[in-house]
Chain A
Amino acid sequence: MKTSTVLFTVAALLSTSAMVNAETLRWARAGDALTLDPHSQNEGPSHTMRHQMYEPLIIRDTDGNFVPTLATDWAPSADNPNVWVFNLREGVKFHDGADFTAEDVVFSFERAKQPNSDMKELIGSITEVRAVSDYVVEIETDGPNPILPSNLTNLFMMDKDWTEANNTVNVQDFEGGEITFATTNVNGTGAYTLVSREPDVKTVMARNEDYWGRNEFPMEVSEIVYTPIQNAATRVAALLSGEVDFLQDMPVQDLARVSEADGLVVKQAPQNRVIFFGMNQGADDIEADNVEGANPLADVRVRKAMSMAINRDAIQKVVMRGQSQPAGMIAPPFVNGWTAEMDGESVTDVEGAKALMADAGYEDGFSIRLDCPNDRYINDEAICQAAVGMLGQIGVTVNLDAIPKAQHFPKITDGATDFYMLGWGVPTYDSEYVFNFLVHGRESDIGTWNGTGYDNDEMDAKIKSLASNTDLEARNADIASIWRTVQDEQLYIPIHHQVLNWGMADNVGIEVDPEDQPRVKYFTMK
């Protein structure tokens, strides 16, 4: 009698725990959020964590379209070209029960503009944010800014009263090691609330039953357990053994293994990141080559030849195991200004490349050092190794120097490399972002990642004018013409678009987000 009661209880417990488990999402990726302060550290995993608990005015869907979140609609003001008007969602409450109003929006923007904020560059053009009524906000910029909404998709809204009451109005001084109330506590409007957090170990979140979109979104996950697992093999093992339901940062070599495993699926989508080589064409002579008194890279024929020597399909097949899309331009496909035609412009033609090299006077080739990171992009070092062999076919002897990212990137920004690999994502989904950093001549606050030495005043003026051109058609025409020059000058050698993979148990339903930002409110659990 007793035994059967015990058995019954155990069985009951097991079945309840199974029910609870079905709604818990155990989620792992390589890294953890650096802080919970919404305006400190503009960085991927930190934003991912915040997106579950805080919300910006607008977010993007998986196709890159804007989705109303805390703002229901927005438009440039009819009276003043420098002003955007945002209508806010009514009836939204913060986790502590306070109402979300225009006052909180004004406060959050002011907080995000503080010197310690990491988001201040993105909203640098904003001069004033005004509350017109409880649910209408006007944002004024220092000139017409047609793409302002693009910069607001990671700008999270905080409650003014909560922040003031907890003495955390100032953004944490991250470099100074400051811990504030907001770095360890959360009061957002988001679909999940913070339950507990141990940095780098585990973070637990629970469903916010009072969320404004409770009936609008699936919200089938009742509890999120987030664990960073750094070692790639361990991460995959955790998914294979069923200890994790959802995995970001899937290692490419394990994709086949995971998709063949029972009960697991891998989903993929093109990522917002393109991989390419940069060449220093601006200098009269470069250090990394064996040509004295001249710079072979300054000749557009040499640059074209080098691009033609790269067999992108082979890299896709052999190095990337199919996990990439060969690229012909240095912008991801969903960016405004991208065209399929330009993205298809890279063709492999070794004979043609040899002819171009001979034309340029380098029929005997030359040797050059290629600087490459070995821990930043998917198979970065292997891609460079493949390129070494391909460039060797046209007489360009490449000495590969593959080093950790912490040493590689300073070389690009300090101008200490003449031939390098770089990857670029476009958070604003607009070509202007690419031009500002990679095409505009290098100055202290613009063109910072342009290591090519390319500096064309006419182009610079055109790029600068994009920021305030509200005539979208004329602006797009300018963008197209800038791209044409970039392509014709072969400023960069595009390689491919990275593909993003998420691994998950087959009861988890979610589509891959090109920015690698899963939002758990969209998850379904069968």
Chain B
Amino acid sequence: MLPFILKRVFQSLLVLIITGAIAFSMFTFVGDPIDNMLGQERTMEDVERLRAQLGLDQPIPVQYVKFLGEAVQGNFGVSYRQGREVSEIIKERAPATLELAALSAVFAIVVGIALGVFTAIRRDGFVANFIMSSSLIGVSLPTFLIGILLIYLFSVELGWLPSFGRGEVVRVGWWSTGFLTETGLKALILPSITLGLYQMTLIMRLVRSEMLEVLRQDYIRFARARGLSERVINFRHALKNTMVPVITVIGLQLGAIIAFAIITETVFQWPGLGLLFINAIQFVDIPVMAAYLMMISVMFVVINLLVDILYAFIDPRLRVSAK
């Protein structure tokens, strides 16, 4: 078992280093940060001085190795745009994204499973068919459009919910939370629906098809024959057995929710990591871009690593082949 884990960990590190290298080589195409940092009155000397000061006059591989060396010690450098430590900024922005992602995940899971079970049980009902076909819209509409539509309906036309920002936040230590105030909670509603809608429809369709599969199985028929109530059959016996693949998908999608919060955060001016990243790209804020991309790749690599290891525990065949 141990050699298997070690091998996987080693592979993950390799993936991280390669991802970082690709990211770094792309930064040259994003543009020249110096241009944004100095005003139009700058002289060529200013440009040269700043370039040398930031180490941008060195070749990309050298810059990358330097970045890795510093990053290992937890130092991600200083944002070109905000002039503050990147780690500070990320710490400040993380709560907004994590709260949004958590609420979106809860929304996706609860609503997704409920609708999935419903559409599976009432397979031919009018309501179930309506839900199924409208869920196609949820899958095919791009996130920014859904966000804008929700803003138009609930903020501009009805005036019920705020169109941007987090509302009032309360500080708990270094963590800032929007869960403790009314405006904070209101501000969470539209962005989390926007962010979680895709995952919600995904989970719903998955639960439905798994459930239909399970309902056809013999033990369900036997349960019916025993005279168990529909509720017990559906929720205790059928749903439980559909959950194994659903949980796997949920785990993998959680990473996607955090990573793809970028668009939702831009539409709702949500002060989280995604918005930070978009700002960084426009300003060519290399330290922030590098730190964010590394963070996201670490997150994905860790999730995949855990999944691999869990599979190995569950399925002994994987362990054997690893030897």
Query: Which residues of A are at the interface with B, using a C-beta cutoff of 8 A?
Result: 34-35, 40, 42-43, 118, 121-122, 172, 174-179, 183, 198-202, 227-231, 233-235, 237-238, 240-243, 375, 404-407, 409-410, 413, 437, 444-445, 448-449
Contacts and interface: CB of A to CB of B under 8 A. Distances in A.
Contact of A237 (B34, B81, B152, B166): B152
Given A237-B164, A407-B29, 18 more contacts: A121-B41, A121-B42, A175-B83, A176-B83, A179-B83, A229-B269, A230-B266, A230-B279, A235-B164, A241-B151, A243-B164, A404-B31, A406-B35, A410-B31, A410-B34, A413-B47, A445-B44, A449-B40
Given A237-B156, A406-B36, A407-B32, A175 B151 contact: no
Nearest to A228: B269
Nearest to B53: A175
A375 B159 CA distance: 31
Nearest to B86: A177
23 contacts: A35-B83, A174-B37, A175-B50, A176-B78, A183-B83, A200-B271, A227-B269, A230-B266, A230-B275, A233-B267, A237-B164, A240-B156, A243-B163, A404-B30, A405-B35, A406-B36, A406-B282, A406-B283, A407-B30, A437-B41, A444-B43, A445-B44, A448-B42
B209 interface: no
A375 B284 CA distance: 13
B82 interface: yes
A234 B271 contact: no
B266 to A, nearest CB: 5
B104 interface: no
Contacts of A198: 271
B41 A122 contact: yes
Nearest to A240: B156
A518 to B, nearest CB: 20
B82 A406 contact: no
Interface string B56-86: 0000000000000000000001111111110
Given A177-B78, A407-B31, A234 B267 contact: yes
A200 B43 contact: no
A35 B162 CA distance: 27
A230 B30 contact: no
Interface residues of B, number: 52
Nearest to A409: B35
Contacts of B33: 406
A172 B276 CA distance: 22
Contacts of B80: 175
Contact of A229 (B37, B54, B85, B164): B164
Contact of A242 (B29, B39, B159, B275): B159
Contacts of A241: 151, 155-156, 159, 163
A409 B37 CA distance: 12
Contacts of A118: 39
A281 B42 CA distance: 24
B279 A200 contact: yes
A35 B84 CA distance: 10
A42 B50 CA distance: 16
A406 B31 contact: yes
Interface in B72-119: 77-85
Contacts of B162: 243
Contacts of B82: 34, 199-200
A369 to B, nearest CB: 18
Contact of B40 (A243, A375, A437): A437
B78 to A, nearest CB: 3
A405 B35 CA distance: 9
A237 B41 contact: no
Nearest to B276: A200
Contacts, number: 135
Interface in B13-39: 29-37, 39
B81 A34 contact: yes
B193 to A, nearest CB: 15
From B31, B47, B275, residue with most partner A Cβ within 10 Å:
B31
B31 A202 contact: no
B269 A406 contact: no
Contacts of A177: 77-79, 83-85
Contacts of B77: 177
B45 interface: yes
From A200, A230, A234, residue with most partner B Cβ within 10 Å:
A234
B256 interface: no
Nearest to A410: B32
A118 B39 CA distance: 8
Contact of A448 (B34, B44, B166, B276): B44
B165 to A, nearest CB: 6
Nearest to A183: B83
Nearest to B80: A175
Contacts of A176: 53, 78, 83
A40 B159 CA distance: 40
A178 B79 CA distance: 10
Contacts of B151: 233-234, 237, 241
A35 B35 CA distance: 18
Contacts of B271: 198, 200-201
Contacts of B39: 42-43, 118
Contacts of A43: 39
Contacts of B36: 405-406
From B30, B34, B35, B284, residue with most partner A Cβ within 10 Å:
B35
B292 interface: no
List the 3 shortest-distance A-B pairs measured between CB atoms, nearest first.
Answer: A406-B31, A177-B78, A445-B43
Contacts of A174: 37, 83
A238 B187 CA distance: 13
Nearest to A44: B39
Contacts of A42: 39, 41
A172 B83 contact: yes
B317 to A, nearest CB: 49
A200 B33 CA distance: 19
Contacts of B165: 201-202, 227, 229
A179 B165 CA distance: 25
B266 A231 contact: yes
B148 interface: yes
Nearest to B83: A174
B277 interface: no
Nearest to A177: B78
Contacts of A230: 266, 269, 275, 278-279
B76 to A, nearest CB: 11
A182 to B, nearest CB: 12
